[in-house]
Amino acid sequence: MRAASYSSYSQDNSTLTVGELPDPKVAPGAVLIEVKAAGVNPVDWKVMAGYLDGLMDAVFPVIPGWDVAGVVRAVGPDTPEFAAGDEVYAYARKESVHAGTFAELVAVPAVAVAQKPASLTFEQAGGLPLVGLTALRALGVTGIFPDGAGKSVLIHGASGGVGSAAVQIAAAAGARVIGTASARNHDYLRSLGAEPVTYGDGLAERVRQLAPDGVDASVDFVGDVEDVTVAVLAQDGRHASIADASVTANGGDYLWVRPNHDGLVTLAELADAGKLTVEVAQTFGLDGVGAAFDLSREGHTRGKVVIVP
């Protein structure tokens, strides 16, 4: 199969190459997916730079990528959940960094796979698993999902990939959503169902103007905002972060996304009900993975960057 891979850690894209590698084997309880689209996330280029070396073993050459949408090519023994031809998507993180989704084929444990949302294109579905599952987990631990009626939530980084998914999921749960973003993204947040506020100096005061009694929950997808969260959280409010482990000192939850079949099913149900969508900013072929990483590093792209093998 054709795949993008690298043979050593690199702070840039100098070791990233595209070439032929053996097709993946399909173990019991796994599915072989013909990749139609694979979302790019900041963790992909951070892994390439060795940032997760202390947490996960890497087996070189490494094929990056953890998001995927595609068509089942084959199933391993004892995998009755899926059949060849099924359109599926997955958050395909494994125990080691090795055989990722920036390839023509990827083998994924069935427990991490679900039927693709019928209403989304492959490109949209390929950009949803990591951001959607992250948002779902953060909103779940803070009590906003599945029932947020009568509750308010502050979403830090609301116009980003995870944040925009969280805005939609929280709004679908009936919560009042306040989201931080630059002024140029305020109309975008309104279209998703959030009340926008500009981040930066004075943020706590601006949030308090909207929610004088404080917010019931806060979820942080950017980091370095714990002081604001503590200042605007209502008594008994709950908060979580994916970017700042110090939240635990103030009673918050520090989260990492997990592969989760049931979560993917929930996201698909929301998408097919018209309550969740994914904005695709730009697509690249395997030869453009390096350029896709560069675009992701800039941190100013609204919507998902997606690899289409």
| pLDDT for the residue 301 | 83
Assess contact for 231 and 155: CB atoms under 8 A. no
Domain pair 2-128+278-307 / 131-254, same fold: no
* Residues 38-52 pLDDT 10s: 999 999 999 999 998
**Residue ranges covered by each domain of the chain:** 2-128+278-307, 131-254
- DSSP-derived letter for residue 103 is B
| pLDDT for the residue 37 | 98
What is the secondary structure of 237-286 as a DSSP string? EEEEESS-GGGGGGT-EE------HHHHHHHHHHHHTTS----EEEEE-G
For 80-96, what is the mean pLDDT?
97
Residue 68 φ then ψ, to 5°:
-160, 145
For 71-95, what is the mean pLDDT?
98
Q: Higher-confidence residue: 299 or 76? A: 76
Q: Which CATH number is associated with domain 2-128+278-307?
A: 3.90.180.10
* Residues 13-66 pLDDT 10s: 889 999 999 999 999 999 999 999 999 999 999 999 999 899 999 999 999 999
In whole angstroms, what is the distance from residue 296 CA to residue 147 CA? Answer: 33
Q: Model pTM?
A: 0.97
Judge whether residue 129 has pLDDT over 90.
Answer: yes
| pLDDT for the residue 16 | 94
Please state which of the four CATH numbers 3.40.50.300, 3.40.50.2030, 3.90.105.10, 3.40.50.720 is assigned to the domain occupying 131-254. Answer: 3.40.50.720
* Residues 246-259 pLDDT 10s: 999 999 999 999 99
In whole angstroms, what is the distance from residue 63 CA to residue 1 CA? Answer: 12
Runs of H (alpha helix) within the chain: 42-48, 122-126, 129-141, 161-172, 186-192, 203-210, 226-232, 261-272, 289-298
Mean pLDDT score across all residues of the chain: 97
Question: CA 240, 301, 280: angle at the middle one, nearest 5?
Answer: 95
